[in-house]
Amino acid sequence: MPNGKYWRLGANDATEISFNRKINFVGNEIEAGTYRMYAVPNHDSWQIILNSETGQFGYYEPDHQYDVLEVEVPVEIVSETIEQFTIAFDGDSKDIYMLIAWDNLQIQIPLHFNPS
Give a yes or no: residue 7 inside a domain: no
State whether the Cα torsion 50-54-58-64 is positive or negative: negative
The rounded mean pLDDT for the chain is 93
pLDDT surpassing 70 at residue 78: yes
Residue whose C-alpha is closest to residue 95's, from 23, 20, 21, 17: 23
pLDDT tens digits for 90-113? 998 778 999 999 999 999 999 998
Whether residue 10 lies inside any domain: the answer is no
The radius of gyration computed from the CA coordinates of the chain, to the nearest angstrom, equals 14
Residue 8 lies in a domain: no
Whether residue 109 is contained in a domain is answered as yes
In a domain, 77, yes or no: yes
Q: Looking at the 3D structure of the chain, how many domains does it have?
A: 1
- Does the residue 1 lie in any domain? no
Predicted TM-score (pTM) of this structure:
0.91
Domain hosting 88: range is: 16-113
- Assign 116 a pLDDT band (cuts: 50, 70, 90): low
